Every structure is written in structure tokens, then in C-alpha cells.
């Protein structure tokens, strides 16, 4: 896992008891701020790989998956019996941990924490951007400007402050999304399993009432992680129930949306605009119709990125390191059943 000098220094500043085993010459160089994966074209020599693995095998904790690779994680866990903690730099890093196919005993020995919540504010801003783009007719504005067309009449635009927005998933990201839309004056609904109240949410919707609720709102925002329970959750039933011109935004995981059902709903006008930061397969295949659909706005899973991200994740890691050293419970512990 690549880590920049500033993040490494911040960890040591906040928790001086941490000894970082780090050699930048052995990790992939960043292509941009927060490029935890690093440049995949860079490769170690056999000697460098041996040195890198030896360093991993004497660590008590890992900042990120080695090479963001499930196979490398599995090797490290099995080669290093002293390893007790892994922190994933992704909020949804549980999918990579699941892919490592660790045993129950290994998952019990190595506590996994995620960076959930570190990206909430940037993702919430993108959700607001997506709804505004749909409400204000971004695509038509772009087309008119390109054609130098002023228009024969003024075109009505939708007012977010008069909209009802359904947030599907009221975790760390969803709670901030709710706060942002509430500040704009929207009525905010949110799905729930626990039934516990969430600030800025006007109505809690039991998850088994999702289809019914989808037919009563102006916009739907998905913030859910990718699990076996969320795969395809937003599919034909939901898209068949929505009102004409409903706006859809996804800042969770692409697998939550059945993309064939979404395209059908877009073609029929039931979904009037979709803003997607994530897709079921990434990178999005060139043959996907989502690329060319006039009512779709895509970003390549970059809505969470900001210059503050590495510092925030480093500070979370340092805080958890303090907890580990002091024998306290860690924050953001991943469920070994749901893997999020």
C-alpha cells in the first residue's frame, strides 16, 4: 500500500508509539492525491518483492491492503501470525477482504477497520450536485449553449427546496446526505432497518417499504455498500414504481443498481436523470449504453476524492492505533458477516 510522506508524518505525530515500517522505493508511486493503489505499471524486482514481504511479515498492523490485492492480503495473514489489525483506506474495503477468503479463525485474529465516514462530506456534495443537475436540466442547458440557442420561451426548473428526497442507506454517508438536503429545504426520507431516528430525516422508511416509498418521492439517492443483501436492490420493482422524471443518484456501490432495469426506466422517462459515480463493473465497459444515454451523468468513482482525504484517513488510523495500544475498542470495525 502506498502512503505519502505527509500522511506518514501525521500518523507518527498523533501517535508517537507507532513505528512505521515503510520504504517508498518498494511501493507503487501515486498518480494523483490519494492514489492508494498506485501506478499498476510499476513492478518490483524479485529482490524487492522479497524485501517487501519480509517487511509485511513483521508488522502488527497494516495500513491498507498490500498492493490493494486480496491474494497479497491472504498471503500476509497466513505468513505473519503476529498480525492483529488491518485498516482499509476504502470505506467499502470489505469487498477486498471478502475476496481474500480468510478463514473464520483468521478473521477473528485480525480485526479489520475501514475508512467509512472519511468520504461522507465529499460524496454528499456530489449527491447534491447530481440532484441539482437533474432538477435544473444540465443536459438541456449544455445542448442549448452548444447550439447557441437562447430559446423561444423561458423553461421551468425544479426547486430542490420543494422536493422529497429518499436516501437509501442512512449510514455515515447517508446521514450527511440527509443533512445537506435538509439544509436546502428538501423533505428528506431515509430507509432504515433499525428504526432508530436520524437527524435531518423527516420520515424513516422500513426497507421492506422501499418500493412504495420510491413512488412518492422526487429523487432517490443510493449510499449503500455492496453486499449480497444490497445487490440489485434498486431494480425493476423500484424503477417500475417511481413517478415520471424521478432523479436517481448513486454514491454507494454500483452493484446496488440493476443497470438493465435502470436503462429501461431511463428510456421510458420514469427516471428522468441519473447521476452515477459508481457502476456495477468498473471501469465501465465501452459497450455500456450508460455512456451515451442523454439522461445519464457519469463520474469514474472519483466523487470521494479530495486533497483532504489522505490526511483524514491518516488521522483515523492514528486514533485507532492509540485505541489498540491502550486496549480500547477500535472505530469502524468491519462486520465479518456483511463485510462492511
Measure the CA angle with vertex 261, ends 98 and 190; round to 5°.
Answer: 70
Eight-state DSSP code of residue 339: -
Annotated catalytic residue 15: no
Catalytic residue among 158, 200, 253, 270: 253
Q: Would you say 201 and 190 are in contact if contact means Cβ atoms under 8 Å apart?
A: yes
User: In sequence order, what DSSP letters do the residues of 15-54 get, joined into one string?
Assistant: -TT------GGGSPPPSSTT-SS--TT----HHHHHHHHH
Place of cell 495500544: 325
Catalytic residue among 203, 301, 311, 323: 301
Annotated catalytic residue 253: yes
Catalytic residue among 58, 282, 289, 338: 282
Question: Which helix (H) or strand (E) segment is 211 a member of?
Answer: helix 210-214
* CA-to-CA dists, residue 41 to 134, 196, 227, angstroms: 38, 47, 30
Annotated catalytic residue 196: no
Q: How far apart are CA 170 and CA 215, in angstroms?
A: 19
Enzyme catalytic residues = 253, 282, 301
Amino acid at each position: 500500500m502506498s502512503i505519502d510522506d505527509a500522511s506518514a508524518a501525521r500518523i507518527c505525530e498523533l501517535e508517537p508509539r507507532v513505528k512505521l515500517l515503510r520504504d517508498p522505493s518498494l511501493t507503487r508511486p501515486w498518480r494523483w492525491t490519494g492514489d492508494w493503489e498506485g501506478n499498476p505499471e510499476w513492478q518490483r524486482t524479485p529482490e524487492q518483492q522479497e524485501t517487501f514481504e519480509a517487511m509485511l511479515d513483521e508488522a502488527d498492523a497494516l495500513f491498507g491492503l498490500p498492493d490493494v490485492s486480496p491474494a497479497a492480503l491472504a498471503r500476509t495473514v497466513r505468513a505473519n501470525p503476529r498480525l492483529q489489525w488491518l485498516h482499509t483506506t476504502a470505506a467499502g474495503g470489505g469487498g477486498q477482504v471478502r475476496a481474500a477468503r480468510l478463514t473464520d479463525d483468521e478473521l477473528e485474529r485480525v480485526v479489520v477497520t475501514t475508512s467509512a465516514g472519511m468520504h461522507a462530506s465529499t460524496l454528499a456534495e456530489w449527491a447534491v450536485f447530481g440532484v441539482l443537475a437533474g432538477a435544473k436540466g444540465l443536459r438541456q442547458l449544455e445542448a442549448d449553449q452548444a447550439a447557441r440557442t437562447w430559446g423561444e420561451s423561458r423553461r421551468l426548473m425544479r426547486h430542490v427546496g420543494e422536493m422529497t428526497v429518499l436516501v437509501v442507506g442512512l449510514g455515515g454517508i447517508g446521514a450527511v446526505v440527509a443533512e445537506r438536503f435538509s439544509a436546502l429545504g428538501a423533505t428528506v426520507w431515509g430507509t432504515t432497518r433499525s428504526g432508530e431516528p436520524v437527524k435531518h430525516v423527516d420520515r424513516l422508511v422500513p426497507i421492506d417499504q422501499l418500493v412504495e416509498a420510491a413512488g412518492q418521492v422526487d429523487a432517490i439517492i443510493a449510499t449503500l455498500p455492496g453486499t449480497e443483501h444490497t445487490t440489485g436492490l434498486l431494480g425493476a420493482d423500484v424503477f417500475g414504481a417511481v413517478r415520471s422524471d424521478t432523479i436517481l443518484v448513486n454514491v454507494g456501490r454500483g452493484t446496488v443498481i440493476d443497470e438493465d432495469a435502470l436503462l429501461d426506466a431511463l428510456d421510458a422517462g420514469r427516471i428522468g436523470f441519473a447521476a452515477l459515480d459508481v457502476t456495477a463493473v468498473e471501469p465501465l465497459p465501452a459497450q455500456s449504453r450508460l455512456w451515451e444515454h442523454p439522461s445519464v451523468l457519469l463520474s469514474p468513482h472519483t466523487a470521494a476524492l479530495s486533497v483532504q482525504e489522505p490526511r483524514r484517513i491518516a488521522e483515523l488510523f492514528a486514533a485507532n492505533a492509540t485505541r489498540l495500544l491502550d486496549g480500547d475498542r477500535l472505530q469502524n470495525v468491519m462486520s465479518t458477516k456483511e463485510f462492511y
